[in-house]
Structure formats: structure tokens, C-alpha cells
Structure 1
Amino acid sequence: MDSSNQQKTFTPYWFSEALAQEPNSYPIPLENDIQTDICIVGGGYTGLWTAILLKQQQPELDIVVIDKGLCGSGASGRNGGCMLTWSTKYTSMKKLYGEQEAVRLVKASEQAVYAIDDFCREYNIDAQLRLNGTLYTATNSAQQGGMDAVMAQLDKHQINSWQQWQHEHVQQAAGSALHREGFFSPAAASVQPALLARGLKRVAEQLGVKIYENTPMEAISTDSPVTITTPNADIFANKVVLALNAWMLEKFPQFKRSVVLVSSDMAITEQIPQKLFETGLKDGKTVIDSRIFVHYYRSTPDGRLMLGKGGNHFAFANKISAVFDQPSRYTPLLRQSFNRIFPSLQQQPFAATWTGASDRSTTGLPFFGHLNNHKDIVYGLGYSGNGVAQTWIGGQILASLVLEQQNQWSQCGLVSGPKGYFPPEPIRWIGAMLVRNAIRRKETAEDNEQQPFWIDMQLAKFANAAGKADKR
């Protein structure tokens, strides 16, 4: 077939930028049967952090990581690069896990941000990590006051890293006059997500982890030892870690009602450093608004502006289709949001758009456990669009489960399996469409300072009940 007629493989912006820095790097697929102490399936953040943390604790372990593509080519290499915490999810965590555990998880999520920054410095990972904090804002009167309840709870336990900024300061720091209210926390960062993922791969290999890319898991046998079947070879492992996140649903249908796959769509401009400076965006802080399906944006070190929006495409039957691996079909929606937030940049074209699959759980929080109560197979998924920093916690949990340690990680509230289930298809998808469209109408009305329809307000509450509106 003439190459001009072949469909070109789509590579999201961040991942393309990261691979350009590895001109002499070639993926190594698994060709021969092997035995190993631990096989980790999935070479994204969760799998790589788990491998690294295991090696740091027990260097003698033989550890293998396999990925069906390239390490970091999934959600880890195509998210918005916003390293946020669980502090604003305190209320949900308190209901799920109790007060003491919620406090501990808030602290752990903030610790994760600083730990990743320290790790990158120690191992010379140039992931463009900028520890400039995050700004949570309200962009209309309906959103104002949305942070008050959780701020009071965090204050009560003396774990509140947030401070409310004056109106003018918010607008200046956020680069937009649209923002009416804002809370800033220094415990957050922005990062080039694919560079972080590829950096973790490099460090894992330096520590002795064997990594095989372009090696999908075709089947798993739970006999002892556990056998992972790949296209050209089998892996016989004493322990297995399933770190597939959204791709978990392809092989393990028991999780299909535990999460819903929803897109987060992103756009990035060409280099416009002077224009960004003029707006007020002078560092790497992330800015998040108070919608249910949030807008998030931040600048890059080379002077680009990245804007994303969650809650667009809901996958029917949770199938990862071509929608998740192509330029965003929601580019007009991204353009509308971009122009509204940055009216002075309306003529600025996008250099690229892309889509990522978010595995959103019923609680908006990840969950971990043993697959079918098998003591030698552990898993974790459900980061719900807030996992760049939290995968470090996921790695701690999975490493502790693998090593059968009795500690704060293996016994934390997240190690409880799914905490709820979505309805079966087609009810789930039809319901998701009803709720999504109601939220869109509700938030459009609020943007125009109008009263939303009563029915839209009631339907939007289903998103709150599913853990989606707890401030990301």
C-alpha cells in the first residue's frame, strides 16, 4: 500500500515532545519466556512508581514491566500535567474512610508533590516540574463560596495549605479578568507529563528493572506461579501488579461498572511568551475553575498556554475507542472556553489538540486491592482525572501489598476495592448523557448569570453524588 494512503499514527503533543529527546531509544519487546519475582503490567506512572519503590526497598528483586505500547503513552503521557492534591476532597474521604484517615490522605497527597519534585532532582529528570502551586477559582457568582465548607474542615484539623487571595490578585495571577474568587495552595505543581513518565522509565532501568515495550498482555493464568501470556512469550511471576488504569477494563470485565471512561480534552498554543507575560501568567502555577467538569490551564516553560476541559466524551460500555487516540473532537468547545477566559488571545491558533481517557470511579478516588482475592495479584485504578501526583501514593500502596507489609499504605482506606458501582449498560450511558447535557446547560446559564432550569440542577446533583464535583 502506498504510504501516503496509510493512516498516520497519532502521537499526543506531550509524548511527541518527549520522544524527540530520545532519538536513539528503541523499544524492546519480549521475545522469550522468562521467570521473574514480580511482573508489573502497565508502564505508566503507577507501574513505574511501583517498580522503583520496590527496587529501592529490595534491590535484589527481579522485576519486569511490560507495556502494550511505549511506557507513558497512555494517560500518563497525555494529561494536563497538573500536579494537584486531595485536600479539596477531604469531605468525601471523611465520609468514606473516617476523619483520621482523611486527614492522613490529605497530608500524603501534599507530601507526594514534594516527593516527586525531590525525586526528579535526585535522579536528574528534567520534566519541566515547576513547584508554583495551584489556584482554584470561581468564574461566576454561582461558583463563589464553593470552597468555604472544605476550607472550614481543613482549618479544623490544621491541615489547610490554602489561602484566599484578593480579587485583583486572583485575576492578575490567573491571567484573566473572568475569575471572581480564588484560593491558592503552594502544595501543587505543573509538569510535562510525558517527560516525567519517560524519566521514571529511565530511572527504573538504571535500578535494574527490565522493561519490555510493545508487549501487550493477552491473557493471565492465576495458577502458581502466575502466568502472563504475551504475543511471543510467557512470563512466569511470583507476584503480579496490574497497573493498567483505564485499560484494565479491556481484560477484567468485573471492573466495568466500577469506573466510567470519560475524556479530558486539551489544546496547546504555539510559543507566545510575551503575550502570556502580558496576561499575567508568569510562572507554572495551575489554574482550575469550579465547574463540575472543570477547566484547567497553565503555561509551559517555553511560553505556550495549555487549556483542558473534562467531562466530554463518555465511552459506551467503557470501550477505549479511536476517540481517545486522535485530535480532540471537542476543539470548538475548547476554543469557546479559551476565548472566554482569554479574550485578548482570541486570534491565537492552537498548535495541537488531543484527548485522554480518565477512569472516573463512583467516589472520584482510586481504589486498590487483590484481584479476586488472589494474594499474589494486586491492582489499582480509578484516579478520576487527578492522578499525576497521586500515582506516587498508588506506587507506595502496591509496593506494600506486593511485599505483604503491614503498614500505613497497605492498610489505608483506599485498599478496599470499588466503593460503588454504576448502572449496567445502556442505562449508564443514557444516564451519563442526560447528566452531562444538563450540566452543560446549567453551567452555561450560570456563566450568563441566569437561573438554570430546575431539572438541570437536579440532574447535576447526580454528578456530585458520583464524586465528580468535589473539586477535582
Structure 2
Amino acid sequence: MTNLTKHRSFWLQEAGVDDVCPPLTGNRKTDVAIVGGGYVGLWTALRIKELDPAVDVTIVEADVCGGGASGRNGGFVLSWWPKFASLTALCGEQEALRLALASEDAITEIGEFCAAHSPEAEFRRSGWLWTATSPAHDRSWDDVVTLADRAKEGTFEHLAPREVARLAGSPTHLAGVLEHSAAIVHPGHLVRALRRRALELGVNIYENTKVKRLNRRGAPRLATAAGTICADRVVVATNAWAAGLKELHTRLFVISSDIVATEEIPNELDEIGWREGPAITDSQTLVCYYRTTDSGRVVFGKGGWSIGIGGHMTKAMERSAGRAEMVTRDFQRYYPMLRQARITHDWAGPIDRTHNSLPIIDWLNREKTIAVGVGWSGNGVGPSVVGGKMLASMVLGRQDEWSSAGLVSARAKHFPPDPVRYVGAHLVREAIVRKERAEALDLRPSRVAVAISNLAPSGLEDKS
């Protein structure tokens, strides 16, 4: 049975989750077991089947496929160009360019998958607009844009302020740049289509099956409430829940992201010229991100408020009426002309942040029988395709450009352990709130707030 008490996003309510695979019972053996039925787990499974259809692949999912971040995000299909500075620092400029181009190709691949298997997913390649909504954030993109243009000329298009306001549908957007490769998608329809395709290719899927224990030594063995799985190789793709693993505890930091969706207002969107506009983010640390849907809704999200402790997820990580009101106020501040639009849906979800906001693609054990693909930091929709190629090559023992990619087993900066991290994160968040409230009013924030804010890890964008 599906977890009926779980609050579903607008996307999953539209896509539906009534078709549920039965949970695991008894003992079974498989070649590759994947823990997590979201984008990363599903793309990894599909890639394995593409490379070797004879490999037996089994996915175990604690909820339903897409019940986590894959069915709760804003539907932004971004490349790694916003993180090109971080990629370069980690991998070197040549490998960073290869991975950035691969992330562009991944967007194309998602579009092709939607055309073939999920036309209802509303894939729309309308670009990504990185904006400044206060003078303090103007030109915050300069360093990464310069670096990206040096690697591939014309990656970002510099826009006049009037054009930024036009594309965004609101004069509160003061400046910005456009990255053309990005797209928008309906996350619910995409993840459910990936699940259907995996089943068609013979992937075994067990939903409502939470893994309670994972043996690290010897042959990997997963224990669930009613059964066990013995596997030659395992992939852990559990998003924020991976923060509960001792090996990853100080490498991941869990925060919430909250989203609201309006009623359908196509006429109002036509009036402001934002009916089929790009995906948009501002330049705040507690980033706002927003887009329109094909039916004429506005979906508006804000990241970084509720703070997790380890792999424990509170109900507030799933939904918070108070935070939804805060997100609504930000939406109305950016689009005062849409204040009368009724909010019909709100939801939240946990994000697994790393220090540089790039994913962790690594081995969990010395025997290299358990791989992990986590830490997508709010930008996993597109890059999960690339991550799936890396993880598939790793567990299949292939020596290729994906198993040797610069992100595989890359060095990672650690956070302090909990509870030190939990307390410190609240102090940093409060400083960020004070700083960004002042900047929104075009006031100078206090030096203390600025100094403490600078302790925050890198965000969705590499800001100057």
C-alpha cells in the first residue's frame, strides 16, 4: 500500500502514484541493487540495462518512486555551467569543460526521453535566467560567466536590464544573464515515466521497502522489514536520507526547500509576458526559484530554511504552512501584479547539500562493492543523467570516461559533526536572513551579518 499519510507535491498529485509495486518479501539475489527510486537510481538502472541488458537490476524504494526530491523539485533542468568555477577548482578546467558539456547533453537526452516516453512531462527548453532582484546582487555572476566564456564562448548571454525584466515578467528583476541550454519539465510525469521504462526493461522495483541495514563487508546484503537482498554491487541513491550514513555524515548537510503553486492564471501571465518564459532564480543565498507551467500556473520555491540533523527528516521537511506563507510573500514581492492569484498547493522537501554543491560520486567501502551518488544540492534533475552514467560504469567494472570522471572519488570538504553543525547552521541562517532582508530594502547589512553569512557553503550558483 502507498503511504497515504504522506503529503504529495502538486506534481505527484497530477502524475498520480496509484500504480505501486509491491514491497519486498522473502530473500532474493541480484547483480546490482539500487537503494532509492528517484532520478539518480532510475537513470542508473536504465544506463546499466543499456550497457548490458542481461544484468539483473533491483531497485528498493522506501516510499514510491519519485516520492522524494525527484517528485518535489521545481522542475528546473539545469546544466553544471552555474557551478563551473567549483567544477574547475575540483577537476581542472579541461575536465570541468567535459562535464559541463556532458550536462548540456543530458538536458537534450531528457528532452528526447520525454518525447519518446512522456510527452505529458511538458519539457520546454526555454533557458535559465539568473537575475539580481536587489542592487547588492548585480553582477554576482561575473566570475563564473567569465570563466565559462573562456572555456566555451557564449555560454551565458548578457542582457540589458529592460530585457531581463521582460523575460521575467516583472520590473523587480534589475539585471541578469541567460543560459540557453536549460529547460523546464514536469518532475512528476518525468519520474513516473522513468519508472515505467525501467519496468519495461526488466528492472525489479520494490516500493514501500525501507532498507534497515546494509552490510559493508563481504558480499553486500540489504535487510528490509520483510526480506533481504544479496547483491554483487549496490548503489546508494537516497538523496538527503544518505546523511544518516556514518561515512557521509560530515559530507552532507540537509536543508529544506519549500514551494507553492498558484491556480491557473494564463490570461494574467499573458498580460505580463511570462506565459512561456525561462526558469528563473534570484541571487540570494536562500535562493528563490520560479517558473510557469503549460497550464498557466506559477510555481515558486525558496531554499534553505528548515535545517536537518543527520538523516532524520521531520514532518516540517515535508510541508510547513508557515514557510509556505513566507514563500508566498516572496512571490508577491517579485510579482505584485499577481497578488490576487490563489495559492492552491504547497509542499516541501529535503535537499542534500555538499560544501561545494557538487554531488558525491564515490565508493562507500574499501572493497568497492557499494557506490554512492548523493549530494545533488538542489540541481539534480539534469546532472542525475550524468551521475547515472558514472555509477553504472562503476558498478559494472567498466574502465571508461565515466568511471574515471573527475567527480568520481573527488576530494570533499567536510562539515562539523552534529550537534555542532546543527547549532552553527542556525546561526549562519539567521545572519543570512538579516543580510538578505537588508539587501532587499537596498540597505547596508551589518558587518557581523555579512561575516557570518560568508560561512555558508556554496549554493546553486557560484557567485562572485
- Given the alignment of the two structures, is residue 141 of structure 1 paired with residue 118 of structure 2, yes or no? no
What residue is the counterpart of 1:363 in the other structure? Answer: 356
Match of 2:79 among 77, 81, 85: 85
Question: Take 1:471 and 1:159, find their aligned partners in 2: how far apart are those partners?
Answer: 19
Q: How does 1:27-176 map to 2 (within 5 A)?
A: 27-176=21-170
Q: 2:146 & 2:106 partners in 1: Cα distance?
A: 23
**CA–CA separation in structure 2 for the residues paired with 1:132 and 1:328:** 31
Contact 2:432 2:449 in 1 (8 A): yes
Paired position in structure 1 for 2:442: 449
Match of 1:16 among 1, 13, 17: 13
2:335 is aligned with 1:335: no
Deviation at 1:139, TM superposition (A): 0.9
Q: Of the candidates 375, 380, 385, which is equivalent to residue 387 of structure 1?
A: 380
Q: Does 1:238 align with 2:235?
A: no
Secondary structure of the 1:173 match is helix
Q: Which moved more, 1:39-48 or 1:438-447?
A: 438-447
Residue 179 (structure 1) shift: 0.6
The change in CA–CA distance for 1:351 and 1:471 in structure 2 (over 3 A counts) is farther
Alignment of 1:248-397 (within 5 A): 248-250=242-244, 252-397=245-390
Aligned length: 462
How far off is 1:356 after superposition?
A: 1.1
Given that 2:275 and 2:296 are in contact with CA atoms closer than 8 Å, whether structure 1 keeps it comes out as no
Distance in 1 separating the partners of 2:261 and 2:118: 26
Is the counterpart of residue 408 in structure 1 residue 401 in structure 2?
yes
Q: State the TM-score, normalizing by the size of structure 1.
A: 0.94
Instruction: Give the 3 Å change call, closer, same or farther, for CA 379–159 of structure 1 in structure 2.
Output: farther
Alpha-carbon separation, structure 2, partners of 1:108 and 1:34 = 36
Identify if the C-alpha distance between structure 1 residues 51 and 468 changes in structure 2 by more than 3 Å, giving closer, same or farther: closer
Measured in 1, the distance between the counterparts of 2:89 and 2:182 equals 24
CA distance in 1, matches of 2:410, 2:139: 33
CA distance in 2, matches of 1:268, 1:111: 29
Matched with 2:199 is: 205
Deviations 1:182-212 (A, max 9, x none): 2112211111111111110000111111111
TM-score (ref. length: structure 2): 0.95
Which ranges of structure 2 fall in alignment gaps of 5 or more residues? none
Q: Secondary structure at the match of 2:305?
A: strand
Q: Are 1:470 and 2:462 an aligned pair?
A: yes
What CA deviation, in whole Å up to 9, does each residue of 1:23-76 have, x standing for no partner?
A: 5x2332122321111111110000000000000110111111110110010011
Q: Distance in 2 between matches of 1:111 and 1:179?
A: 29
Which SS does the other structure have where 2:121 is aligned? coil
Cα–Cα, structure 1 residues 418 and 70, in superposed 2: closer, same or farther, change >3 Å? farther
Is the partner of 1:136 in helix, strand or coil? Answer: strand
Matched letter for residue 470 of structure 1? D
Q: Cα 1:142–1:131, aligned 2, differ >3 Å: closer, same or farther?
A: same
CA contact (8 A) 2:378 2:460 kept: no
223 and 431 in structure 1: CA distance in 2 versus 1, 3 angstrom threshold: closer
SS class of match (1:462): coil
Cα offset, 1:343, TM superposition? 0.5
- Relative to 1, partners in 2 of residues 1:17 and 1:284: Cα closer, same or farther, differing over 3 Å? farther
User: Is 1:218–1:231's contact at 8 Å kept on the other side of the alignment?
Assistant: yes
Q: Which runs of 5+ in 1 are unaligned?
A: 1-6
Structure 1 residues 329 and 255: alpha-carbon distance in aligned structure 2, compared to 1, 3 A threshold: farther
Give the aligned CA root-mean-square deviation in angstroms.
1.9
Contact 1:189 1:284 in 2 (8 A): no
Query: Once structures 1 and 2 are overlaid, which stretch shifts more, 241-250 or 259-268?
Result: 241-250
Distance in 2 (alpha carbons) for counterparts of 1:417 and 1:90? 15
- State the Cα distance separating 1:124 from its structure 2 match: 4.0
1:70-102 Cα deviation digits (max 9, x unpaired): 001001100111111111211112112211111
1:399 deviates by: 0.2
Report deviation, 1:221: 2.3
Cα-to-partner distance string for 1:355-410 (whole Å, 9 max, x where unaligned): 11000001111011111222221111111111110111110110010111122211
Secondary structure at 1:92 match in 2: helix
Shift of 1:316: 3.1
**Residue type at the aligned position of 1:262:** I
Distance 2:321 2:390 in 1: 34
Instruction: Work out whether residues 82 and 461 of structure 2, in 8 Å CA contact, stay in contact via their aligned partners in 1.
Output: no
Looking at structure 1, the residues matched to 45 and 427 of structure 2 have their Cα atoms a distance apart, in angstroms, of 41
Could you tell me whether the CA contact under 8 Å between 2:83 and 2:461 is conserved in 1? Answer: no
SS of equivalent residue, structure 1 residue 330: helix
Matches of 2:294 and 2:35 in 1, distance apart?
33
Are residues 240 and 317 of structure 1, via their aligned partners in 2, closer, same or farther at CA, if it must alter by over 3 Å?
closer
Q: Which moved more, 1:317-326 or 1:94-103?
A: 317-326
Cα offset for 1:213? 0.7
**Given residue 426 of structure 2, which amino acid in structure 1 is its aligned partner?**
M
Structure 1 stretch 314-323 or stretch 29-38: which is displaced more?
Answer: 314-323
